[in-house]
Amino acid sequence: MKFAVIVFPGSNCDVDMYHAIADELGEEVEYVWHDEENLDRFDAILLPGGFSYGDYLRSGAIARFSKVMAAVKQAAEAGKPVLGVCNGFQILLEAGLLPGAMRRNQGLKFICRPVQLVVENNETMFTSAYGKDEVITIPIAHGEGNYYCDEQTLNRLVENRQIVFRYHGENPNGSLADIAGIVNERGNVLGMMPHPERAVDALLGSADGLKLFRSIVNYWRETHVVTA
């Protein structure tokens, strides 16, 4: 399986994402600059965290106009796994690939520490390696992680089981309904504020994030079985 890590000006978690795939997962991965227009050679697309374009205007508001985003949308439409973490989640929201918007943290401060999440839906291509209602520890690092959507959208997210992760025990940023991560209706685009790529080895304090990447690989292998 071949992963693309999209690199925008200001990305700073691209190396973490690359390490998670290459060194911990053992799969092929490549950095892809933001002006790339074709992602057909990749099986999964990863949008890392950071401060794309300095977070000017709004987080992700400029990155959504990068040339590569048309190819990201094509990959999503083709059913390929697309994962956006932190700033990557913000970009997916700005690009309309996921519903809702991101606001400043409720306390108006940047937060950087491990948090607990509960796996709300373990029947997606991103979460099949987890147990239902499993509580995991994943770090956060953001100033604008306060997810918001209108009531109609929230009801749709709940009905379609699109809320994949919720904050457990404590809501660090004021996110609506404790939402930490959501998928699109098709289930192949995941946006989440916590950083699974920073929780892939016990030496980092948690290896709980590795299951997310293993889930992607497991899904790809199950759907790409070659028969003689």
Confidence at residue 224, expressed as pLDDT on a 0 to 100 scale: 82
Annotated catalytic residue: which of 34, 142, 168, 195? 195
Tens digit of each residue's pLDDT (9 = 90 or more) over 12-36:
999 999 999 999 999 999 999 999 9
pLDDT average, residue stretch 139-157: 97
As a whole-number percent, the residues of the chain with pLDDT over 70 amount to 98
pLDDT of residue 228: 44
Q: Looking at the predicted structure, is the pLDDT value of residue 98 above 90?
A: yes
pLDDT in tens, 209-227: 999 999 999 999 999 865 4
**What confidence score (pLDDT) does residue 226 get?**
57
Give me the mean pLDDT over the 99-111 stretch: 94
The amino acid that residue 87 corresponds to is N
The question of whether 86 is a catalytic residue gets the answer yes
* Residue 206: predicted pLDDT: 95
51-65, 88-102, 125-139, 192-206: segment of lowest average pLDDT: 51-65
Mean of pLDDT values over 53-75? 91
Taking the domains of the chain in order of start, what are their residue ranges?
Answer: 2-223
DSSP string, 165-228: EEE-S--SS--GGGEEEEE-TTS-EEEESS-GGG-SBGGGTB-TTHHHHHHHHHHHHHHS----
165: closest CA among 141, 197, 130?
A: 130
CATH of domain 2-223: 3.40.50.880
Catalytic entry in 13, 86, 120, 168: 86
Query: Active site includes 197?
Result: yes
Mean pLDDT of 94-99: 97
Are 216 and 208 a contacting pair, CB within 8 Å?
no
This prediction has a pTM of: 0.95
- The whole-number pLDDT of residue 225 equals 66
Task: Kindly state the average pLDDT of the residues 195-218.
Answer: 96
CA 151, 157, 5 angle in degrees (round to 5)? 120
- Other CB atoms closer than 10 Å to residue 42's CB: what's the count? 23
Mean pLDDT of 90-115: 96
| Average pLDDT over the chain, rounded to an integer | 95
Report which residue type is found at 47. L
